[in-house]
Structure 1
Amino acid sequence: MLAASGRPCEFGLKENRLVSRPESLSQLFRSLHSIKGVGDKLAALLARFFGAPEGQEAIALDILMHMPSGVVDRRRQVGIAEAYLNQIVTLRLHIDRHQPPPKGKPHIPHRVFAHDETGDVQLVFFRAQGGWVERALPEGEERFVSGQIGFFNGEKQITHPDYIVEPDKFETLPLVEPVYPLTNGLSSKALSKLVRQVVETIPPLPEWAGEHILQERKWPTFAHAMKSVHLPASPEEAELWAPARMRLAYDEYFAGQLTLQLIRSTMVADRGIARTFTGEITERVRQALPFSLTEGQQKAVDEIRADLQSPNRMSRLLQGDVGAGKTVVALMAMAAMAESGAQSSLMAPTEILAAQHFKTLKPLCDLVGLGCELLTGKMGAAERRTKLAGIASGQTTIVVGTHALFQSGVEFHNLGLTVVDEQHRFGVHQRLALSDKGKHTDLLVMTATPIPRTLVLTHFGDMEVSILREKPRGRQPIDTAVLSIGDYDRVIARLRARLAEGAQAFWVCPLVEESEHLDVVAAEDRFAELQKVFGDQVALVHGRMSAAAKQEVMQRFSANELKLLVATTVIEVGVDVPNASIMIIEHAERFGLAQLHQLRGRVGRGTQRSACLLLYKDPLSETARARLDTIKSTEDGFEIAERDLELRGQGDVLGTRQSGMPGYRLAVPDVHRHLLDFAHDDAKDLLSRNPGLSGPEGEAARTCLYLFRKDLAIPLIRAG
């Protein structure tokens, strides 16, 4: 990767060619510390603020990519008489007199009385010490003052004006001023000054968008767009839908799409194996299934088979709503792989989920004669040795586990297919690393988080996509109700009656704070309360328990030895207890839509009608109410995902804020979503026309990749 310190770093490419970052970009990759006025303290603050890697400093590019959140318009230059409450105005004032606070009463403000030919105004300063107010506003002189008009005791006033400038320095007052997100210790004045210095050093850049695109869409160049956004002449220039911001959003999407296309070409190009199948094992699996495949499942199986038969490497995303039957599709793929003489691995994000998959797959594998083993990090040494020997000899055809599958020491006889569950937790780098375990491994990734099309393009543009929309036959609809926690006693009475009839229930408590410890306390408090009512019929499971302890509780619940399971969100993904028909989610207003949908999907898996109860605590914010209404009104995960995107923005929907996957700095998906399609098509066209990104066109595209920190893609550019 590029050093954030701004030093170019070199990469070995095919044919030992070396590329380094273009020299023309060095100004933008220099440390902010090297800019006049940035001392050690500010440099350290900026490094933290912009998230520079450990031991490195923020660079000029960080400032450039830090977009304003709004604009203050100071162009309203009127007389005091026409300055109205809460307006931001710029006034030319004659300073009459000062009224400092009485000695020993620092809480009383320093007032400055001023006038123009239309009226009077007071300028108010709290805790103004050191005589700077007197120096800035000398009695008898004129000054331009800009700020927001307020009223106090019937008098117009401006409290702490934003700008005070002498008449001959009027041009230094920014009449249109971008407002930036700040951090404690960083003033908007200091940041604006830095922005101005950096914008002026943008070098001439080759045009990657293509002249015809700029003309057609009436977009400025990259440098001009940056200037319009950071130093706008009018508020309209900096709007999210203005040509400048559209251009920059497109550039960010284009860099991302180009990266994904390069990864795709690396993964699939001449490195796959064209598999041949006998159809025997898959037919035995089909016969062994207690149900027939849905149309969607059959279509996904056919798409996967076609991928496996092609000489290119498969890289496919299987999206299926909660309970849509992705595991069966994966089993059909792994059975086909076994027919071709190769092994498969299924990797899950947690041991609970790995065990769950194993429990589903093992009986079917035994019936059809496939060796299937579970490998986790918690196994004893002897058991682990035996399992590793089976994997290395090829006796084990299907291996299920966590990321421990990809640690050194696990040697496959002939790994042909890697299946990854809950893909959104794995970024682009992990996809590349996973596929390298087997030399020509095909990759199938599954997610139960329905992902809106925008985000599929953004994060998985390097993958083909199969979607399972229908629920398997026999799945019961889930009745969803929303209730205030004030109805707790009624809820308990109803729950007691249902459990007495033989039902089982989940009771989920949220992460109340960031601290895992408090999360446990919240669940433990509720558990203690419920224990008073349900005694030893209730148990608790949370993230701080050992895997073995969690497993034991889950097994007892699955075996119907427990009636009520109090849990934190550890049960969000993949827990399968068909007899559980009631889901109670406490503090439902604290959960995201995708999480609520996932949790609700833990019930409705058996034959009886299921219910989900969302308990909230007043007062509800508008967003929280919208979330709860959405969950109540639909079970369609794709509809829920689109709504989630509208309510929360793309970084949260995939949990990317936590997982380090790319959020956007310049593009705002709600406004710029349509540009993603353009960027996707343009990146695809460019690589089909010029796969080696050579010549001036290729140099321009590489420049774009460097500017958006997509350096990981540079070594993937294929020679020629």
Structure 2
Amino acid sequence: MSGRPEILFPLFADLTKLDGVGPKTATLFEQLHIEKPKDLLLTLPGSGIDRARKASIRDAILPGTVTVEVEIGMHVPARQKGRPYHVHVRDAQTEFRLVFFHARGDYLQKQLPTGQRRVISGKVEMFDNMAQMVHPDHMVPVSDGDSIPEFEPVYPLTQGISQKVMYRAARAALAMVPEFDEWIDPSQIKQAKWPAFRDAIHGAHAPTSLKDMAPTAPVRERLAYDEMFAHQLTLSLARASVRAKPGIASVATGKLQSKVLAAFPYTPTGAQTRAIAEIADDLGTKTRMNRLLQGDVGSGKTLVALMALLTVVEAGGQGVLMAPTEILARQHMESLEPLAEDAGIVIALLTGRDKGAERRAKLEALAAGDIHVLVGTHAVFQKDVFFKDLRLAVVDEQHRFGVSQRMELGAKGTSVDVLVMTATPIPRSLALAQYGDMDVSVLDEKPPGRKPVTTATVSTNRMDEVVGKLRNAIDERRQAYWVCPLVEESEVSDKTAAEERFKRLRAALGDGVVGLVHGQMPPADKDAAMAKFVSGETKVLVATTVIEVGVNVPNATIMVIERAEGFGLAQLHQLRGRVGRGDGASTCLLMFQDPLSETAKRRLNILRETEDGFRISEEDLEMRGAGDLIGTAQSGLPRFRIANLETQTALMAVAQSDARALLTTDPSLTSPRGQAARVLLWLMEQERAIRLISVG
């Protein structure tokens, strides 16, 4: 599989090979991300114009596009420069006129000789009680009338490229499409009633009605599936290459786990029990685990992670838990330490702050196997950190950790199992697209003891009431967060917004009561301000969104989010999850500025209605689209040209199970269908997958 198959050469040739595309036009096409004929094929028309022939413009709804046969009447040249040139015409029932600006009379006389018949097509509108067609799109002799398509596809355009150029180039590209061997499972083709690839691509570029352009139209659905299938094959190959390297089986004895469960104040939820079992099964086999643990705010991920860590310790190995920031690493340490004591295991914290003799002692204990579980930040990656027998890495908050860090971590032990935890509920389609190489466990129940949070919306002109409410809460020894608005222009104004609010609240509530955290502060000051709030020394923490991930202050029962309409749904849900962690009844106040747009209203209402993070994430996806939801830049989301992640979730799930099934029976893609799938991978430019096959 050294290089691109010959059958694809024409589709990857220069655009200038296409009819009507010179070097200058080729440069313009790059604006549309079209660099080769293949890109043009996957750029489908976005709408269409009905050019079915009518007897008269009277049969049409005006203004609208009409195609009629007419008899050419009198020509009326422009009376003065800049005025239009008119040609009177008559169809079967009525008269109207054609209008041309900057026209050359001799050319029009030749095209439209008085007394002759022509088929014309273009937009007709009323002007001074007279119907007129300005610059017809088509004017042909009656004998060529069939050259006007009954339904004309309309393509996305860019400056300097017209529909005509696009249409011609697309036709030229279509002429290059060869017959491919089928890469889709025959039973899937039959059940979905899909055409072959070549027929599908021809059909998608030649719709006969708007119905043919719906994502569910067989020609479009097939092509969307091809994109998804290529993407899922790539992810499945990545998954297979991880699983191919032998792992170590860590079989639980249950000795340590039972001690923790006995001391635990609640019975685990069904979802927790299920996730613990799925992870234990993975750890117990020789195949390396690569699992995503998805849980909503407060769904009890910590217990699941600890059970996984105890499994490898019971089997004689070590585990590591990594967090994106030092504050979070400390919090994990605080919540795990008492539980580790119940189990009688040694747990230690390693961060960038550990220096000198203390650090050396920890590293020696780690290398000797005296520390069973290490909690830390990316400091655990450093060159001098050695484990005696590292078997499991639990990584908190995936989006701060790319695939490359997962691999670096894997290199620390001979074959480390990886469990990634994320508190951002991700809609199923995105989870499939982004984490298709991982197996997923979902915590979709709240453990007992988590109090629901009352969510209310309040206009910013009631600021004084809100401050009054804070004063009462402080008197009752409660704490509160105050999240400042995101300011678009620059980081600096985020900082000023937070500082202004801090000053005003300090003036209203008293000195020493209010703390401040924002993104521009040196890490040490940030940590100090957070620590004061965690210990209860400050009662109100004014912050930009740095607090959305993970901070745990059970005594905080009020969350005020200023200008909440500017935040995404998932973000608001994450912020709200910072309260409701203790025994006190908690409130989340969404402050908004009037007037609210419809979308913003809908967003705030969804939050008032539900605390279910998965439902919220589905709504968020529907309202904002996939790219915004995870921030396309670092999201690792594929850029599909035809497939739509928001609406075609089910198709993505089919593509994933088909890709995994194909690789189970044909791991090196050498069967006839496997060979066809290789061509698809080249066609969709999944070079990463091709490298994995050639290596694997």
TM interval, shorter chain, is 0.7 to 0.9
SS of equivalent residue, structure 1 residue 373: strand
Confirm or deny that 1:21 pairs with 2:41: no
Structure 1 stretch displaced more, 633-642 or 648-657: 648-657
- Tell me if the contact between 1:348 and 1:401 (Cα under 8 Å) persists in the aligned partners: yes
Confirm or deny that 1:557 pairs with 2:527: no
5+ unaligned residues in a row in structure 2: which ranges?
Answer: none
SS of equivalent residue, structure 2 residue 552: coil
Structure 1 stretch displaced more, 307-316 or 397-406: 397-406
Q: Deviations over 1:149-206 (max 9, x none)?
A: 4444444345666x24444765665543333444556554444443232222122211
Which residue is equivalent to 2:295?
320
Q: Distance in 2 between matches of 1:132 and 1:570?
A: 66
Cα separation, partners in 2 of 1:171 and 1:497, compared to 1, 3 Å: farther
Structure 1 stretch displaced more, 417-426 or 599-608: 417-426
Cα separation, partners in 2 of 1:612 and 1:706, compared to 1, 3 Å: same
CA RMSD of aligned residues (A): 3.6
Equivalent residue letter for 1:685: A
Shift of 1:611: 0.8
SS of equivalent residue, structure 2 residue 527: helix
Which residue is equivalent to 1:299?
274
Cα separation, partners in 2 of 1:243 and 1:282, compared to 1, 3 Å: same
Among candidates 302, 307, 318, match of residue 343 of structure 1: 318
Which residue is equivalent to 1:691?
667
Confirm or deny that 1:66 pairs with 2:40: no
SS of equivalent residue, structure 2 residue 176: coil
Percent of aligned pairs sharing the same letter: 47
Q: Distance in 1 between matches of 2:159 and 2:479?
A: 49
Q: Distance in 2 between matches of 1:77 and 1:382?
A: 90
SS of equivalent residue, structure 1 residue 312: coil
Which residue is equivalent to 1:441?
416
Cα separation, partners in 2 of 1:132 and 1:711, compared to 1, 3 Å: farther
- Tell me if the contact between 2:251 and 2:280 (Cα under 8 Å) persists in the aligned partners: no
Q: Distance in 2 between matches of 1:620 and 1:134?
A: 58
> Map of 1:573-588 to 2, 5 A cutoff?
573-588=549-564
Cα separation, partners in 2 of 1:241 and 1:531, compared to 1, 3 Å: same
Q: Distance in 2 between matches of 1:102 and 1:49?
A: 40
- The alignment's TM-score, normalised by the length of structure 2, stands at 0.87
Which residue is equivalent to 2:218?
243
Cα separation, partners in 2 of 1:417 and 1:47, compared to 1, 3 Å: farther
- Tell me if the contact between 1:73 and 1:176 (Cα under 8 Å) persists in the aligned partners: yes
Which residue is equivalent to 1:115?
89
Q: Deviations over 1:325-372 (max 9, x none)?
A: 112221221122223332322233444433433343345446734132
Equivalent residue letter for 1:201: M
Equivalent residue letter for 1:60: P
Corresponding pairs, count = 688
Cα separation, partners in 2 of 1:218 and 1:364, compared to 1, 3 Å: closer
Q: Distance in 2 between matches of 1:39 and 1:385?
A: 67
Q: Distance in 1 between matches of 2:232 and 2:349?
A: 38
Q: Distance in 2 between matches of 1:540 and 1:122?
A: 71
Cα separation, partners in 2 of 1:259 and 1:166, compared to 1, 3 Å: same
Which residue is equivalent to 1:601?
577
Which residue is equivalent to 2:692?
716
Among candidates 260, 267, 274, match of residue 242 of structure 2: 267
Shift of 1:661: 2.0
Q: Distance in 1 between matches of 2:183 and 2:522?
A: 52
Shift of 1:632: 1.0
Cα separation, partners in 2 of 1:513 and 1:75, compared to 1, 3 Å: farther
Equivalent residue letter for 1:67: L
- Tell me if the contact between 1:98 and 1:139 (Cα under 8 Å) persists in the aligned partners: no
5+ unaligned residues in a row in structure 1: which ranges?
Answer: 1-17, 51-56
Cα separation, partners in 2 of 1:175 and 1:589, compared to 1, 3 Å: farther
Q: Distance in 2 between matches of 1:385 and 1:30?
A: 59
- Tell me if the contact between 1:230 and 1:238 (Cα under 8 Å) persists in the aligned partners: no
Which residue is equivalent to 1:253?
228
Q: Distance in 2 between matches of 1:124 and 1:528?
A: 67
Cα separation, partners in 2 of 1:471 and 1:217, compared to 1, 3 Å: closer
Larger radius of gyration: 2
Q: Distance in 1 between matches of 2:368 and 2:28?
A: 55
SS of equivalent residue, structure 2 residue 531: helix
Cα separation, partners in 2 of 1:613 and 1:432, compared to 1, 3 Å: same
Cα separation, partners in 2 of 1:443 and 1:515, compared to 1, 3 Å: same
SS of equivalent residue, structure 2 residue 10: coil
Cα separation, partners in 2 of 1:501 and 1:146, compared to 1, 3 Å: farther
- The alignment's TM-score, normalised by the length of structure 1, stands at 0.84
- Tell me if the contact between 1:604 and 1:610 (Cα under 8 Å) persists in the aligned partners: yes
Q: Distance in 2 between matches of 1:512 and 1:219?
A: 49
Equivalent residue letter for 1:574: G
Q: Distance in 2 between matches of 1:174 and 1:531?
A: 71
> Map of 1:393-404 to 2, 5 A cutoff?
393-403=368-378
